[in-house]
């Protein structure tokens, strides 16, 4: 532990829904037992950060400004709370080591203990749903510092993995991994459709391509993202700009799958009708994972197709520490095969965070990077 802990740090907080972020100074306190204080190395911005900024979660979660955005974070350990100085897989941790970590589940509810799916924990502590006024203040990644909660799994970032990528992996990729896993085996006989070319869809594309499917089809826009999809393994890309109707896209998918539809479809877009469309795209006996659709209005679904096509549809909300581990491993092990940098956007300082959010809102950036030290 350093002889002296820093006494305060800056946070770019949401002071009003959709307003420019406000730079504020908050005091630091030593981490409680099991926790870590980290200096934020890089934070990448997620679609959910934009939604939170816009106030989308205000009513449902009863959250009020100020809040601190940012949940895709790599931090360097500044101070340890009491407890073993190792990460969740036993790797020793020292000051200065880079870590990623998970939301904190309570560990003592039915869903944590019996269903063993902490993503369903009803008391999960998620940084941007906690007021920044409440100590220890640094609940997110839009600041100089952040805290790793006592019960949050945490992992040392492998040296081979860049901080901005590790940050991005800690949300989008660690969500894509259980989604692909929930589908069961994918192999050379499968035709795969990925709906969506955001970070989730692009990482899913990379994951699917490691199984050498017969055909890997990605639906999305704009063209720059489709280009990343192709670089990461897509054989066929379908632009929703060029094929704006569901009928056109279905026709393209059928043409690429012997007229049967895809044996495997993944929803990673969060589009308005995405699930209704996905059920059309999947072949008889096929499998469909829904990972991107987390909100929006009800969808008009041709429900009998579920039975008539003998479908398997799975939702995926899993994101335990094992998924973080696999996400980092995927970046590390497959870094020769995939040019991960294609995903990353421009770099912004804390003072430019509002601008980063706006560019994301405008689809001008896939994954902007915040560097508090910049």
| Under 8 Å between Cβ of 198 and 365 | no
Residue nearer to its own copies on the CB measure, 63 or 301:
301
What is the size of the binding site for its own copies (CB under 8 A)? 77
Strands 67-68, 369-370: pairing is: unpaired
The answer to whether the Cα torsion of 360, 374, 4, 12 is positive or negative is: negative
Tell me which residue has tokens 């094992």.
322
Closest residue by Cα to residue 198 from 329, 54, 343, 75: 343
Q: Pick from 5, 108, 241, 364: which binds its own copies (CB under 8 A)? A: 108
Q: Pick from 54, 97, 235, 320: which binds its own copies (CB under 8 A)? A: 320
Subset of 152-211 contacting its own copies (CB under 8 A): 153, 181, 184-189, 210-211
Tokens of 231: 């670089």
Span from 52-60, 131-139, 298-306, 366-374 in contact with its own copies (CB under 8 A): 298-306
Q: What single DSSP character describes residue 289?
A: E
Span from 2-10, 67-75, 326-334, 341-349 in contact with its own copies (CB under 8 A): 326-334
- Please state the closest distance from residue 247 (CB atom) to its own copies, in A: 15
Q: Pick from 115, 224, 251, 339: which binds its own copies (CB under 8 A)? A: 115
Our CA dihedral for 327, 73, 129, 18, rounded to 10 degrees, sits at -110
- Please state the closest distance from residue 315 (CB atom) to its own copies, in A: 4
Q: In sequence order, what are the residues at sequence separation of 6 or more whose Cβ sits closer than 8 angstroms to the Cβ of residue 206?
A: 232, 233, 330, 334, 338
Q: Pick from 29, 131, 299, 354: which binds its own copies (CB under 8 A)? A: 299
Q: Pick from 137, 252, 326, 367: which binds its own copies (CB under 8 A)? A: 326
Tell me which residue has tokens 């949300």.
171
Check binding of 275 to its own copies (CB under 8 A): yes
Bond before 136 cis per omega within 30 degrees: yes
Closest residue by Cα to residue 252 from 305, 203, 204, 193: 193
Span from 23-31, 49-57, 161-169, 332-340 in contact with its own copies (CB under 8 A): 332-340
Q: Pick from 79, 274, 366, 370: which binds its own copies (CB under 8 A)? A: 274
- Please state the closest distance from residue 134 (CB atom) to its own copies, in A: 18
Subset of 241-260 contacting its own copies (CB under 8 A): 260
Strands 236-239, 154-156: pairing is: unpaired
Per-residue binding letters, 80-99, with its own copies (x by CB under 8 A): ----x-xxxxx---------
| Under 8 Å between Cβ of 67 and 13 | yes
Span from 51-59, 126-134, 291-299, 356-364 in contact with its own copies (CB under 8 A): 291-299
CA distance 298 to 315: 16
Check binding of 346 to its own copies (CB under 8 A): no
- Please state the closest distance from residue 275 (CB atom) to its own copies, in A: 4
Question: Could you please report the per-residue DSSP string of 37-50?
Answer: EEEEEEEE--HHHH
Check binding of 30 to its own copies (CB under 8 A): no
Residues linked to residue 347 through DSSP beta bridges, in sequence order = 369
Span from 41-49, 56-64, 286-294, 341-349 in contact with its own copies (CB under 8 A): 286-294
Strands 369-370, 347-348: pairing is: parallel
Angle 78-80-81 from CA coordinates, rounded to 5°:
140
Residue nearer to its own copies on the CB measure, 107 or 351:
107
Residue nearer to its own copies on the CB measure, 147 or 268:
268
């Amino acid at each position: 532990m350093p002889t002296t802990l820093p006494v305060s740090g800056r946070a770019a907080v949401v002071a009003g829904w959709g307003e420019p972020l406000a730079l504020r100074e908050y005091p630091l306190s030593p981490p409680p037992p099991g926790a870590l204080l980290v200096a934020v190395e890089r934070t990448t911005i997620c679609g959910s950060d934009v939604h939170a900024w816009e106030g989308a979660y205000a009513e449902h979660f009863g959250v009020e400004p100020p809040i601190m955005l940012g949940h895709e974070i790599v931090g360097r350990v500044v101070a340890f709370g009491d407890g073993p100085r190792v990460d969740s897989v036993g790797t020793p941790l020292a000051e200065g080591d880079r870590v990623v970590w998970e939301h904190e589940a309570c560990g003592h509810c039915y869903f944590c203990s019996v269903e063993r799916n902490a993503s369903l924990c009803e008391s999960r502590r998620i940084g941007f749903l906690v007021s920044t006024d409440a100590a220890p203040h640094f609940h997110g990644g839009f600041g100089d510092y952040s805290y790793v909660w006592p019960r949050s799994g945490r992992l040392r970032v492998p040296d081979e993995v860049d901080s901005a990528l590790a940050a991005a992996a800690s949300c989008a990729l660690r969500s894509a991994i259980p989604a692909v896993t929930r589908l069961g085996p994918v192999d050379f006989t499968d035709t795969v459709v990925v709906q969506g070319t955001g970070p989730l869809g692009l990482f899913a594309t990379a994951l699917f391509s490691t199984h050498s499917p017969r055909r890997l089809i990605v639906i999305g826009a704009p063209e720059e993202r489709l280009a990343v999809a192709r670089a990461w393994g897509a054989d066929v890309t379908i632009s929703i700009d060029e094929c704006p109707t569901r009928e056109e896209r279905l026709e393209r998918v059928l043409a690429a799958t012997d007229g049967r539809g895809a044996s495997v479809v993944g929803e990673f877009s969060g589009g308005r009708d995405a699930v209704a469309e996905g059920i059309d795209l999947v072949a008889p006996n096929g499998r469909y994972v829904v990972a991107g659709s987390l909100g929006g209005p009800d969808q008009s679904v041709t429900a009998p197709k579920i039975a008539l096509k003998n479908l398997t549809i799975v939702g995926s909300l899993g994101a335990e520490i094992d998924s973080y581990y696999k996400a980092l491993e995927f970046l590390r092990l497959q870094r020769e095969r995939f040019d991960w940098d294609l995903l990353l956007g421009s770099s912004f300082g804390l003072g430019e965070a509002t601008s980063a959010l706006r560019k994301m809102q405008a689809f001008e950036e896939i994954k902007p990077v915040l560097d508090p030290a910049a």
